[in-house]
């Protein structure tokens, strides 16, 4: 059993560019880097599908629960190092590197957009990709050649506040920027460690009920219910004793909001799978064209 959790393809330069949907991708355990499973295989297909349908992203702005701060921090490094921010895993995992290029100009733009929306934000020159970022991007773009701008999670923010943070960056979609929230659709580490199950164990009933509720409410664009998931979703507390791995969902959804609108019109599950019986690896797409990325 794993001892602990932490907290080559190219489009032509003149490929047509459409406004990109935004994504919520579940990264689950760091082991997805070397044991990709169904979710990793989906992400391997997703990168080429994005390129073929929308054009190669100019940059990726990504929020992960493993980099958190009181106010948003925009990482403006020229190149990011790979952070192995976990313990007790096989040596092969620590040998992996995903030292992606950064984008200082884009980081300045992200910071300015947040501030224009009345959201205090800092831009910091130290970089680095936590495992919630690089274990996802290594499957999306294994050549490690798309610039990355990490944005820290503010874990005390409400779902509505995270959605507003994403909405502040919605214009990036028209500029060829892929906005990603990385987390986990369910994330109960107490159960994971105290009730260990095989990776291919049958899905448990409360996980299935929570996943189905999210898929239904998202497909119906029932954002009042989704924003109040803690009270309305079945088994919400069991699936997220703390919600830092769930909050990037709202950031990604908000980034697909059209100007002057509260919520994205299109939101749907692109992929669904479960490991260890209750660690859900679902992926969601938001905004126009999201359906073109469905598995």
Whether 6 is in a domain gets the answer no
pLDDT tens digits along 114-171? 999 999 999 998 889 999 999 999 999 999 999 999 999 999 999 999 999 999 999 9
CATH code of the domain in which 50 resides: 3.40.830.10
Give residue 139's domain range.
22-293
Distance CA 210, CA 256 (A): 23
Percentage of the chain lying above the pLDDT 70 cut: 90
Nearest partner of 212 among 185, 188, 231, judged by Cα: 185
Distance CA 194, CA 143 (A): 38
By residue count, the chain amounts to 295
pLDDT tens digits along 225-244? 999 999 999 999 999 999 99
Give the burial string for 182-220 (b: 16+ CB within 10 Å, else e): bbbbbbbbebbeeeebeeeeebbebbbebbebbbebbee
pLDDT at 8 over 60: no
Number of compact structural domains in the chain: 1
pLDDT at 2 over 70: no
Q: How many CB atoms lie within 10 A of CB 7?
A: 15
Whether 217 is in a domain gets the answer yes
Whether 2 is in a domain gets the answer no
Whether 157 is in a domain gets the answer yes
């Amino acid at each position: 059993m794993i001892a602990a959790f932490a907290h080559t393809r190219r489009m032509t330069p003149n490929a047509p560019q459409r406004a990109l949907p935004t994504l919520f991708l579940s990264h689950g355990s760091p082991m997805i880097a070397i044991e990709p499973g169904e979710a990793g295989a989906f992400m391997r297909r997703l990168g080429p599908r994005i390129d073929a349908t929308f054009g190669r992203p100019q940059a990726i702005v990504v929020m992960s629960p493993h980099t958190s701060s009181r106010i948003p921090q925009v990482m403006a490094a020229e190149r990011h190092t790979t952070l192995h921010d976990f313990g007790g895993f096989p040596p092969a995992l620590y040998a992996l590197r995903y030292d992606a290029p950064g984008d200082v100009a884009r980081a300045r733009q992200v910071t300015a957009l947040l501030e224009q929306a009345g959201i205090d934000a800092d831009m910091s020159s130290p970089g680095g990709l936590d495992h919630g970022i690089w274990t996802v991007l290594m499957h999306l773009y294994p050549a490690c050649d798309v610039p990355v701008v990490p944005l820290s999670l503010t874990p005390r923010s409400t779902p509505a506040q995270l959605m507003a943070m994403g909405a502040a960056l919605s214009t990036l979609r028209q500029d060829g920027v892929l906005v990603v929230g990385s987390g986990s659709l369910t994330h109960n580490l107490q159960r994971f460690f105290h009730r260990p199950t095989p990776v291919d164990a049958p899905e448990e009933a409360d996980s299935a009920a929570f996943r189905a509720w999210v898929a239904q409410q998202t497909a119906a664009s029932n954002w009042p219910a989704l924003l109040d998931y803690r009270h309305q979703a079945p088994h919400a507390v069991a699936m997220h004793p703390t919600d830092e791995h769930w909050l990037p969902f709202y950031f990604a959804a908000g980034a697909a909001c059209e100007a002057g609108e509260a919520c994205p019109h299109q939101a749907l599950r692109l992929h669904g799978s479960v490991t260890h019986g209750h660690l859900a690896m679902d992926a969601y797409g938001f905004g126009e064209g999201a359906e073109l990325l469905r598995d």
